[in-house]
């Protein structure tokens, strides 16, 4: 039983932009996956994240929490969205190829979707305009809820991940003169151009 209250760092709320329950739940999903794998936050690209959610209301915020906890981010290129419309993640330790899937328990998710917060969101009230009296108890609940009530946690399984190839090779685009990396430039009439210039 995990009855310890988990602290969500203030910078994660600042990065996310508003207070909502989905970001902290995502943060906890990331922590739960890292605990299961026995790994620390990814400083470089030690971990890789597959997030199963997509641009649905009442769910998309979850991914910002997962990214904050795991250090798997779009900027570093070790996160991707599968757009399955589900609040679940697969976290992979790239060194050992160990992976774990953490998904929101249907019973907990259903309760969250029936909350006053989500009812207000359905009426198009933006999260920043929802009263703290409505939001804060949900965040507190997300911090202290037993992780087995929040999540279903898979056994560890093996997963191969092919990382997109990066490059330090670059060129000046022959048209706009901006710097463009080799793997995203094109050769047209013998000249290196960037994609937007190639489409003009």
Q: Could you list the residues that contact Zn ion (CB under 5 A)?
A: 20, 23, 61, 173, 175-176, 194, 197
Nearest residue to Zn ion on Cβ basis:
61
Q: What's the min distance (Å) between Cβ of 120 and Zn ion?
A: 13
DSSP string, 28-61: HHHHHHHHHHT----SSSSEEEEE---S-TTTTH
Closest to Zn ion by CB, 59 or 100: 59
Closest to Zn ion by CB, 70 or 185: 185
Enumerate helices (H) and strands (E) in the chain, giving the number of each. Answer: 8, 10
**How is residue 53 written in tokens?**
């959610």
Closest to Zn ion by CB, 163 or 179: 179
Q: What's the min distance (Å) between Cβ of 160 and Zn ion?
A: 32
Residue 170 to residue 143: CA distance in whole angstroms:
45
Say if CB 98 and CB 92 are below 8 A apart. Answer: yes
Q: What's the min distance (Å) between Cβ of 50 and Zn ion?
A: 20
Q: What secondary structure letter does DSSP report for 5?
A: P
Q: What's the min distance (Å) between Cβ of 17 and Zn ion?
A: 7
Closest to Zn ion by CB, 87 or 100: 87
């Amino acid at each position: 039983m995990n009855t310890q209250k988990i602290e969500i760092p203030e910078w994660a709320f600042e990065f996310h932009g508003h207070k909502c329950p989905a970001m902290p739940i995502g943060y906890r999903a990331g922590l739960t996956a890292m605990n299961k794998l026995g790994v620390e936050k990814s400083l470089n690209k030690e971990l890789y994240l597959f997030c199963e959610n997509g641009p649905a209301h009442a769910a998309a915020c979850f991914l910002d929490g997962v990214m904050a906890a795991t250090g798997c981010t779009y900027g570093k290129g070790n996160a991707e969205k599968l757009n399955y419309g589900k609040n679940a993640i697969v976290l992979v330790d790239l060194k050992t190829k160990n992976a774990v899937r953490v998904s929101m328990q249907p019973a907990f998710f259903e309760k969250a979707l029936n909350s006053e917060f989500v009812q207000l969101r359905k009426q198009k009230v933006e999260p920043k305009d929802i009263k703290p009296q409505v939001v804060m108890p949900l965040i507190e609940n997300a911090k202290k809820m037993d992780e087995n009530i929040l999540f279903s946690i898979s056994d560890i399984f093996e997963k191969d991940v092919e990382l997109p190839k990066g490059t330090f090779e670059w060129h000046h685009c022959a048209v706009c003169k901006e710097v463009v990396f080799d793997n995203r430039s094109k050769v047209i009439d013998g000249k290196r151009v960037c994609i937007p210039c190639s489409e003009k």
